[in-house]
A and B are shown apart, each in its own frame.
Chain A
Amino acid sequence: MLERGEVANSWRRERWDSLRLLTPNWQSRLPGHRYEGPDPDGYMTMGEVIEFIERFAAVSRAPVRTGTDVTSVRRTDDGYHVTTSRGEIGCRAVVIASGACNRPTVPQFTDAVPASVLQLTPFDYRGPTHLPDGGVLVVGASATGVQLAAELKRSGRPVILSVGEHVRLPRLYRGRDVLWWMDASGVWDQRHDEVDDLTRARRLPSPQLVGTPERGTLDLNVLAATGVELVGRWAAVRDGRALFSGGLRNVFSLADLKMRRLLDSFDEWARAHGREAEVDPPERFAPTHVPESARWQLDLRSGEIRTIVWATGFRPDYGWLDVPVVDAKGRLRHEGGVVDSPGLYALGLPVLRRRKSTFIHGIEDDAREVIDHLTRCLAVRR
């Protein structure tokens, strides 16, 4: 196992200070390793996640070579040639487990933003104290965006949140963590070959959830109530002005409808499986409140906004992969983690084999199946 940094590197270097997992402690499980602390319904801080993964690396005796940066992987007659910062390696098979979130994605028009406005990605952001005073425009209303908007608002800054398509979820539903429902009702186990539209499922943004000791919901209604101003999807910059889409109402409707459908399916599952007694009565949440008139432009030179935080998603980086298996959009071509080149495999990508594939607890089932394929392949080719 080659790791350019240390064990749990992404959690050490690529997260902001206040972040906690949005998945509850009981759900953080790796093969033979689970949370055993006093608060199964809580959410780990970054320090706790690092400790959790380090402990797993130790007990599983994972043969990790840290500080080893892979700079190239090339195909050879009988396998792959791997170049690292610590020398060359020949091997018959390679598993790409380099992560799905190596780089923040930002739109093309960042260049058109006036230089007087500071631009940050979640990789640059540590906490509100590192930002200049004044207004902040947070772009993107998925998990990262809603969490950073809430934190920045709490720091006393005016915050505008630009909202595109998003996944709305309550933190608790009928008294249980909404992720308990995802898990118990089988949504998270849904397989890649059962999902209706796989391309879409793989592009689905992260849910509007935050892990806090209070177990509170962090949807757009909650944010708006704290004074965060909601605007439409940022579409373009023209003459130093940010132009936002006028379609805000519809992204609210889409998210409200999808949430309602998901909650309906949870209710149906509880009824069909005799689980009603374990949970509180069904609940329905108020639709996302549409602002009287959302502004559709913002003068970026006016000083109203001093900082932009791009919470517009992440993408993998395959700059080191010299095998032609990456499509025009930078995505790895694979079928359930079996990459389009013999002996090459992938893990930890969105809906790789199941809806839970990119979550900590999602790796176990995927890894077992992918490694099973790998060992069978090696046995045949020997």
Chain B
Amino acid sequence: MTTIDNGVNVQALLDAREVLKGAPEAAQFTWRASSKWQNGVHSTTTIQNFFGLGQEQSHKSETVFTADHPEVFAAEDNGITPIEYLLVGLAGCLTAGVASVAQNRGIQLRSVESTVEGNHDIRGILGADSDVRNGFNDIKVTFTIDADASKEDIEALVAQSQKRSAVFDALTNPTNVTVEVA
């Protein structure tokens, strides 16, 4: 097999899988974000630290995310709407999955592009119709992938990346959410 390189260190992931099989405590991660209200529906959320492998960890640098609503919602549009961040998460996760699985299967990728569409009936959040849910009604992701592989192998890559995706799981399955006042 010619060496292929999608820039994913699959060996490190496979090694981690073996190590964590026998050390479930080390596999417990906590991801954290801290948010602050600015004004109106505008807020900023910063992310830097998380917990994992038994200790505090840190990203190389802090990232600040701005959330707001668009002008059609009579807001200032300082940033994307919170629900759009879910699309960012989904696209990022599935794309990372495609690259990792391709690396593991010896498939060289040349380009991976995707569009993500979330259909949202906003009568739910406005309280205009109690039968309409608040969240997305459905989400559609369309990948366009150029790689040294058959159409079928590419479909299998995309299927496997969903199977192993944290965000796909978080969106398709219910999660317990606790919201408290400190």
Q: Tell me the interface secondary structure of chain A in the complex.
A: mixed
Q: How large is the interface on A (under 10, 10 to 19, 20 to 34, 35 or more residues)?
A: 10 to 19
Contact assessment for A293 and B159 in the assembled complex, using a CB-CB cutoff below 8 Å: no
- The answer to whether B173 touches A236, judged by C-beta atoms less than 8 angstroms apart, is yes
* Residue B152, interface by CB 8 Å: yes
A243 interface residue per 8 A CB criterion: yes
Q: Nearest Cβ in chain B — how far from A237, in angstroms?
A: 9
Of all chain B residues, which has the CB nearest A248?
A: B172
- Tell yes or no: B123 within 8 A of A by CB: no
User: Pick the contact of B162 from A233, A247, A293 — CB < 8 Å?
Assistant: A247
Name the B residues within 8 Å of A247 (CB-CB): 162, 168-169, 172-173
Roughly how many angstroms separate A293 CA and B171 CA in the complex, as a whole number? Answer: 16
Taking CB atoms, residues of chain B closer than 8 Å to A250 are 159, 162-163, 168
In this complex, the member of B152, B169, B172 whose beta carbon has the largest number of chain A beta carbons within 10 angstroms is B172
Q: Is A333 an interface residue (CB 8 A)?
A: no
The verdict on B25 contacting chain A, using a C-beta distance below 8 Å, is no
Contacts of A246 in B (CB 8 A): 138, 171-173
Q: In this assembly, does B40 line the interface, its C-beta being within 8 Å of a C-beta of chain A? A: no
Tell me which of A20-28, A53-61, A252-260 binds B. A252-260
**Docked complex Cα distance between A246 and B169 (Å):** 9
Determine the distance from Cα of A254 to Cα of B169 in the docked complex, in whole angstroms: 15
Query: Is A245 at the interface (CB under 8 A from chain B)?
Result: yes
Q: Which residues of B, 135-172, contact A by the 8 Å Cβ criterion?
A: 138, 152, 155-156, 158-160, 162-163, 168-169, 171-172
Q: Which residues of A contact B152 (CB under 8 A)?
A: 257, 260-261
B161 to chain A, nearest CB (A): 10
A236 — which chain B residues lie within 8 A by C-beta?
173-174
Q: Chain A residues near B159: list those with CB within 8 A.
A: 250, 253-254, 257
Residues of B within 8 A of A235 (CB): 173-174
The interface residues of chain B lying within 8 Å CB-to-CB of A243 are 173-174
With contacts A250-B159, A250-B163, A260-B152 known, what are 5 further pairs, Cβ within 8 A?
Answer: A245-B173, A247-B172, A247-B173, A250-B162, A261-B152
20 A-B residue pairings within 8 Å (CB atoms):
A232-B172, A233-B173, A235-B173, A238-B174, A243-B174, A246-B138, A246-B172, A246-B173, A247-B169, A250-B162, A250-B163, A250-B168, A253-B155, A254-B159, A254-B160, A254-B163, A257-B152, A257-B156, A260-B152, A293-B138
